[in-house]
Structure 1
């Protein structure tokens, strides 16, 4: 299980395919985790009614999916002073760790806000954004 070690967090991530990188921000609020893209839930026992970009994009892109801090298999506290900047720092550190200087971002639901913060923090690194709701 790949993990990025941060000073105050262990961030779980998954990598699929090859090509120009795309960082995915899954739906799920502060519990945004990679499995939200394709897994079943009580509301959708046969899987979510949208495509799974981890699969759909992997033929032409390196797809990076992650569990946000304190979600899924990531381990970290979320403190009162943590804001969008804290999550963006994790996300950008992950892309640094994987050696990706420039990349696309794609976010579903709360992922759109994560996309906007990545663009604000690193406008020279985000090549394009796809916002899904």
Structure 2
């Protein structure tokens, strides 16, 4: 049963496998966890690619996407939310994939409940504390929150006051939704920005758990990203001793968007080697 303090997460679920060759199907689902300011919606194309081989469940973490807003952004709390969802869906064991902050949620879940995780893919993050680095992003989102733009062009203009990189602005704009207000039909944030900012120290901190996760692990990193540098690998292997590290060329931190086909193939090849037949 879900923990009384857990949040009931929104999720996308491809359902049971009903396509592809029977010998290639996996009895275990894959749970996908997005990064900071992302959502399950960002993973729709990947869900479609993996669906022939397994059930895929993509979650909206608390204060993100369509999930409820709730105090606290600790990795203990966020991994408990995901575990509560697995209990709700009757999933006893699963493969798990997490990107960035979602990677730390995945690592936390694997360390706290290793019996529930058959294998894990960690996308461009290490189980270490990072420096603060989202001040410009938060300032840009505040501009939109206060400005209440009526269209996405105006929203982009507000975001651009703090964020020069257009792909980042497009990503941030996925958090906007239509809302009726005194100003008419405007775009507002669907994320719990106040709670996320209040819990940001936890977000950039280490994942939860004390013991290493000894299960099979694939760490995918972008060649143009600094999040999983060679210097960090000794610390990473203390927590993930079985990790195989693969670098995707011409990819940054959002490697699943920069190189979607290469990312999908790397994940599928890894999961295929740890597949459990139906």
| TM-score of Structure 1 vs Structure 2, range by shorter chain | 0.7 to 0.9
Q: Which whole-Å CA distance do the structure 1 matches of 2:30 and 2:113 have between them?
A: 15
Counterpart residue number, 1:78? 71
Q: Which whole-Å CA distance do the structure 2 matches of 1:97 and 1:74 have between them?
A: 15
Contact 1:24 1:105 in 2 (8 A): yes
Structure 1 unaligned spans of 5+: 39-51
Equivalence map 1:1-133=2 (5 Å):
7=5, 9-18=7-16, 19-27=27-35, 29=36, 31-38=37-44, 52-79=45-72, 82-133=73-124
Q: Which has the larger radius of gyration?
A: 2
Q: Answer with 83-92 or 107-116: which moved more.
A: 107-116
Bigger RCO of structures 1 and 2 (CA < 8 A, at least 6 apart): 1
CA deviation after TM superposition for structure 1 residue 7, in Å: 4.8
Contact 2:6 2:84 in 1 (8 A): no
Cα distance change, pair 11–57 in 1 and its aligned pair in 2 (3 A): same
CA deviation after TM superposition for structure 1 residue 8, in Å: 5.7
TM (normalized to structure 2)? 0.38
Contact 1:88 1:117 in 2 (8 A): yes
CA deviation after TM superposition for structure 1 residue 95, in Å: 0.7
CA deviation after TM superposition for structure 1 residue 17, in Å: 4.1
Cα distance change, pair 107–8 in 1 and its aligned pair in 2 (3 A): closer
Normalized per residue, the structure richer in strand is: 1
SS in 2 for 1:76: coil
Q: Which whole-Å CA distance do the structure 2 matches of 1:83 and 1:65 have between them?
A: 20
Cα distance change, pair 17–53 in 1 and its aligned pair in 2 (3 A): farther
TM (normalized to structure 1)? 0.75
Q: Encode CA deviations 1:53-90: one digit per residue, 9 max, x unaligned.
A: 211211111101111011111112233xx410100111
CA deviation after TM superposition for structure 1 residue 110, in Å: 1.7
Residue correspondences, number: 113
Contact 1:8 1:76 in 2 (8 A): no
* Structure 1 moving runs of 4+ over 6 Å: none
Counterpart residue number, 2:140? none
Normalized per residue, the structure richer in helix is: 2
